[in-house]
Amino acid sequence: MIKITLKDGSVRESESGKTILEFAKTIHQGLAKEAIIGVVDGEVKPMSYKLEKDCSLEILKFDDEKAKDTYRHTTSHIMAQAVKKLFPDVKFGIGPSIANGFYYDFDMEHRLTEEDLGKIEKEMNKIISANLPLERFEMPREEAIKYFKELDQPYKVELVEDLPEDAVISFYKQGDFTDLCAGPHLASTGAVKAIKLQSVAGAYWRGDEKRPMLQRIYGTCFPKQKLLDEYIEKLEEAKKRDHRKIGKEMDLFAIFDEGPGFPFFMPKGMIIRNELEKFWREEHAKRGYMEIKTPLILNEQLWRTSGHWDHYKDNMYFTKIDEEDYAVKPMNCPGSMLAYKRKMYSYRDFPIRMGELGQVHRHELSGALHGLMRVRTFTQDDAHIFMLPEQIKDEIVGVTNFIDDVYKIFGFKYHVELSTRPDDSMGTDEEWEMAETALKDAIESVGVPYVINEGDGAFYGPKLDFHLEDCIGRTWQCGTIQLDMQMPQRFDLTYVGSDGEKHRPVMIHRVIFGSIERFIGILTEHFAGRFPMWLAPVQVKVMPIAEKFHPYAESIVNRFKEAGLRVEYDDRNEKIGYKIRQAQLEKTPYMLVVGEKEAEAGNISVRSGKDGELGTFAVDDFIAMIKEKIETKAVL
């Protein structure tokens, strides 16, 4: 008998040689039915893995990220096998799991269509029904290279050649299909239950514009058809909320061929943007921030000093001025370093909070651009806080509470991730340990749950990332708090301490919106274009039924203007039903219909874009109601 320690600390005895699945059945049949993978002594294993010695065991269902990753990765292999069956000459790229699904890259003469996706799905279901076991085996590196050359799979050859000479290469085989893969995988293809191929896109091999363009098939999968149906329904809702579609209907922004990735904001989009920036300035002033503005272009030496030259130059734009090399800023922080260095501070001056709505430029591949969500220029709502070491915890707590206050205004839930030291980091082990501990202590002190995101910190320091959840359950990484001990050293920032000597300050980088552009995109989809009154580009539209009611309608328009409200007047010679439909498409919060009854009584008939007919109001009462919604920033 062997002893198996479960996640809750309990220990169960079992016969040696039982599979994880067989052992799961001894705990509960329901667990065995829903189990996807096991984690044995910290390593992910298929349910067919045999337990032969004392170990710790965690049995994971689909709601666990490790289980989802394994499930999706296995499905990508099933898709590759199906494509090979239909298109024998295909060359394989890579096929990882991703958030909400998986993809695989293919090189083939045939141009894939939507109709092909249906054929591939049908073939995948045959492979699933065959319940083929996934069997792992290994080869030495040179043998693996020879193997893929014989199969005429150049992309796999390249992947193997990039591995160390002494590497042992792992493969997974299912039926007549074998793929290069580190794993892990499900025990068999039959473990996959519900699949859906979603789209075909182009993707450069290894993300390099100079390399071949492959065809990438995206798909998703779930252990139950019901879960797949719910996910597809959510995607359909997301399409309706697509900020690019709504942005065009409401005439908020545009991106032209003359500037891919460089958004233009139209008058109505500028209203939303200006209101957000006004809100940003008011809230920062309340919390003791001073606003600064730093230049778009600064010389190359600055970016070498900051570390961006070594860690970020592939994402930067460059130019020459007076025969010297300059860079367009991808981040605002080096400018803030210079703003700090302009004078000498005393320990009594701290904390110093500098805020900046700073425009930055970053080179993104054309295939990655997406409306306002992924652009090449955007405005970060940056702030840099310079402080004494003993002020670190209080400042991080203050920023955390600030972020919480802002997100509540928009009705967002969120979760927090602590991103730790990446491979390309600057600084010592001691500095990173101190910084990570400080972030942990601060977030724990305010009682906000968090998870660890290993290796995803900035190159100069660890960070707390805030992931918003919108009204249909999608998450967006927006706010971040980064603790930095590197840039103060690299820029030789100092202050005069109580002992009269020079000391080094600590600094925080932080954003709340993330970027104004992306946040507007998120808000557009979250509210489906029906922005809260304080952000709505047009708050009220007045629509007379006929020309003879124009004088009264115009008087109503003027009263709304005098009250400081954003009002539009639709005096076109069109039927009222047409005007209402147009206003609905433009997501106007309130439509005021003016006819004979209203003109005689001196009131207005109000229609809500969200709730339909609201009835008759006195003009002053309705204005007061709207103003209250604006002042309280109420969500409609």
Reply yes or no on whether 621 is catalytic: no
Which one from 179, 381, 382, 465 is the annotated catalytic residue? 382
Catalytic residue status for 362: yes
**What is the pLDDT at residue 530?**
95
Mean pLDDT of 52-76: 94
109: helix, strand or coil: coil
Whether 108 contacts 215, CB under 8 Å? yes
Q: Please say if 463 is a catalytic residue.
A: yes
Q: Pull the structure tokens for residue 521.
A: 């995109």
Catalytic residue, chosen from 156, 361, 463, 566, is 463
Among candidate residues 380, 405, 406, 328, the one with its CA nearest the CA of residue 517: 380
- pLDDT greater than 80 at residue 636: no
- Rounded-to-integer distance, Cα 267 and Cα 59, Å: 55
Average pLDDT over residues 574-592: 93
Does 170 have pLDDT greater than 90?
A: yes
371: three-class secondary structure by DSSP: coil
Residues 254-282 have pLDDT tens digits of 999 999 999 999 999 999 999 999 999 99
pLDDT of 168 reads 87
Q: Known catalytic residue: 225?
A: no
Give buried/exposed letters for 482-499 (b at 16+ CB in 10 A, else e). Answer: bbbbbbbebbebbbeeee
Per-residue pLDDT tens over the stretch 69-127: 999 999 999 999 999 999 999 999 999 999 889 999 999 999 999 899 999 999 999 99
Q: Mark whether 382 is an active-site residue.
A: yes
Nearest alpha carbon to residue 353 among 285, 307, 303, 302: 285
| Residue 385 CB-density burial (10 A; 0-12 exposed, 13-18 middle, 19+ buried) | buried
What are the Cα distances from residue 34, in Å, to 64, 127, 222, 400, 428? 12, 21, 11, 38, 45
Partners of 467 in the β-ladder = 415, 477
Longest Cα–Cα distance of the chain, Å, equals 94
Residue 323: pLDDT over 80: yes
Average pLDDT over residues 26-47: 90
Distance of alpha carbon 52 from alpha carbon 33, whole angstroms: 22
pLDDT band at 434 (very low <50, low <70, confident <90, very high): confident
- Edge-to-edge strand order for the sheet containing 43-45? 11-14, 2-6, 55-61, 35-40, 43-45
Is the separation of the CB atoms in 76 and 97 below 8 Å? yes
Residue at 5: amino acid letter: T
From 380, 482, 486, 539, active-site residue: 380
Q: Is 380 a catalytic residue?
A: yes
**pLDDT exceeds 90 at position 431:** no
Cβ contact 347:387 at 8 Å: no
User: Which of 85, 353, 362, 541 is flagged as catalytic?
Assistant: 362
Please, what is the average pLDDT of the chain?
93
Report the run of H or E that residue 407 belongs to, with start and end. helix 392-409
High-pLDDT (> 90) share of the chain, %: 81
Query: Which residue in 273, 509, 510, 607 is the catalytic one?
Result: 509
Q: Is 153 a catalytic residue?
A: no
Q: What is the DSSP letter of 167?
A: P
The pLDDT value recorded for residue 365 is 84
pLDDT per residue as tens digits for the range 600-621: 999 999 999 988 999 999 999 9
Average pLDDT over residues 323-345: 95
At 239, list the tokens: 């399409």
Q: Per the residue annotation, which of 81, 333, 353, 526 is the catalytic one? A: 333
**pLDDT, tens digit, 9 for 90 and up, residues 405-430:** 999 999 999 999 999 998 878 788 88
pLDDT for the residue numbered 472: 81
Model pLDDT for residues 438-449, shown as the tens digit of each residue: 899 989 998 889
Q: Look at residue 533 and tell me whether its pLDDT is greater than 90.
A: yes
CA angle 385, 387, 390 (to 5 degrees): 135
Whole-angstrom distance between the N-terminal and C-terminal Cα of the chain? Answer: 63
Please report which confidence band the pLDDT of residue 367 belongs to, taking 50, 70 and 90 as the band edges. Answer: confident
Strand spans (E) along 537-611: 540-544, 567-569, 590-594, 603-608
Catalytic residue among 85, 376, 384, 421: 384
453-502 pLDDT, tens digit per residue, is 988 888 778 999 999 988 888 888 899 999 888 889 999 999 999 999 99
Half-sphere exposure of 563 (CA within 13 A, CB side): 22
Residue 543 pLDDT greater than 80, yes or no: yes
Q: How confident is the model at residue 166 (pLDDT cuts 50, 70, 90)?
A: confident
pLDDT of residue 307: 86
pLDDT at 4 over 90: yes
Domains of the chain, earliest start first? 2-61 (3.10.20.30), 67-240 (3.30.980.10), 266-294+331-526 (3.30.930.10), 540-632 (3.40.50.800)
Q: In the prediction, which pLDDT does 39 show?
A: 93
